[in-house]
Structure 1
Amino acid sequence: MHDRGLNFGIYEDYGTKTCGGFPGSYGYVEKDAQTFAEWDVDYLKLDGCNIDEEKMPAGYAQMERALNATGRQIVYSCSWPAYLIDHPEKVDYKLIGKSCNLWRNFDDINSSWGSIRSIIDYYDHNQDKHIPSHGPGHWHDPDMLVIGNSGITEDMAITQMSIWSIWSAPLIMSNDLRTIAPKFAQILQNRDVIAINQDPLGIMGRLVANTTDIGVYAKQVLPGDGQSYSYAVAVFNRNTNYAQDVSFYLKDIGLKSSSGYLVEDLWDGVKYGILRPDDKFSTRVRPTSTTLIKATLVDTIHKKPQLLSNSVRSAYNRV
């Protein structure tokens, strides 16, 4: 697998059995961690079936220590908070972030628009709790990309890729690489959109304007000048039947640099030129689709790329 340029991920469960009834890691954490390292595993997804939720804080931390003790860098994905969805008062993201590189909060995704919508709605509703604990080395995981699977249209795929990228969420594909249609492969391989997702700041974008049909999200990205930053902005049409015409002033969604922003659509390639805070941005968004733009701070266009501090770089590379 490594010879093909792919990473090797494996699924396990902290409980006595996995959700599918296979042997779990409970009582064998250190042995399993060492086995995974010997198998050259790059990524561990540790589920939480068949175990008392009260044991999860100690159990997930135990696996983290065991993985670190192997000396191999293994990305550690936890299902810990997803099992506390009915007890949000028990979720301590600061504690979870000390052990886990990424974690699930909500229901499993499936290849349907309803599932994608329910996840977006959940994260919209809980953004004030999620944003402070999200960043380099510790990521909220809204679940896998279902782009290219049956039941997902091109516009739905554009929306999932856009919103996951605005959130700086892990981009983990669930499709069959051998049979994916070219139009979906192009969505997954859009380098400009991937760059928004992989922006070194690692900020989780925020829902900044909202109506029944439209959600507007904004996320600070590089380049910046030390005081102001560039932005990625997503305009999401929830309506399943009708396109929506959307207009807003840049200043109303937080883009306030007087020098302005060079604005470009990352899906259609439309270049809007330089817009300033008092200028209005307008777009027509197809049903279930999303317009994704990058607004590059004008003051940074002819300057050298901004370098990350050592502390931020270290956190971003944390495993």
Structure 2
Amino acid sequence: MKKLLLLLICVPFIGAGQIYLGNNQSICEGDSAQLIATYAPGTSINSTGSPILITECDPGAPDLLEIQNVSALPVDVTGWRVIISNNYTNINIANPNEQILSGTMVPGATQYWTDNSTTNYWGSNMMWNPGAYPSFTTWIMLLDNNNNVMDVFVGNWLSTDIDSSAIVTTVGTISLAGHWNGDGIDQTNIGTSLQSFSRIGNEDNDDASDFTILSTSSAITNTGLNLPFSGGGATWYDVNSGQMIGVGDTLYYSPTQSTFIAGVITDSTGQTYSDTMYVEVLNTNISTTGFSLCNGSVVLTAPSSFSTYSWSNGASTNSVLTVNTPGTY
């Protein structure tokens, strides 16, 4: 409970009553709990979104990319990673260097990298350039700590290229399909120096409309980017670990031990609300003093005409079952 209190204390102006996570759940170890957030009538919440987004891409010299926490909540980005393209004509080739994140990004915080070896160095050349398709192309991919694709940026690649992509990364083969709509942003008109495709607005549409061309402004919020974004669905946390485990109205999660789960939302006014539930993970290898239903049905054999079996269900009273015929219960 101390971890739960610490998590909620870290979220400013948190309220209750607008989000409901439902009853506590019990699952067998290795199974998944389905987490569903429902909202009070009139609550303005978007159904999808990531709290961390790609907010700038400068394909000039030096090349640069920026990410930012666009939500109203701090986000633990430990284990998140940024991956970029490394070939103008083959969409499936990724740069051998990846940025693996750690720590917490507070609301509005940014991180950026360039291929200038003296400033926030990516670790190698970022193979991007202004110009037309098919001579020049770009993509950026942001993954969470479970290797889910949270955001992408695409420059020049056609929708057919995106839909058929199968990018080889250090964490497996990943497609951009379903994470970007339409063709990539036209890189023909951007300048060769200190101009970026810069995110604007107050929502993520996963297409070229999210960006415009502005002067590069790494480490500060872009002109025209209105923070925090409202909604984005519920942001889910495993209270035991303190890790964010996903974003959205529905989520499947497989904890390895019993834990509280917190769901947090932000409404259109910037007010945050939360609810919690408990997921009990049942041991599939319970001791010889009892049985685990995770291993399948338990056969109860009555040595005489009938027997009465009692077991604890975690409530204040025991459940009782009377067995008067052979069989499985």
The question of a shared fold, defined as TM-score above 0.5 by the shorter chain, is answered with no
Q: Which protein is richer in helix relative to its size?
A: 1
Counting strand residues as a fraction of each chain, which structure ranks higher? 2
TM, length-normalised to structure 2? 0.21
Which has the higher relative contact order, 1 or 2, with Cα contacts under 8 A spaced 6 or more apart?
2
Structure with the greater alpha carbon radius of gyration: 2
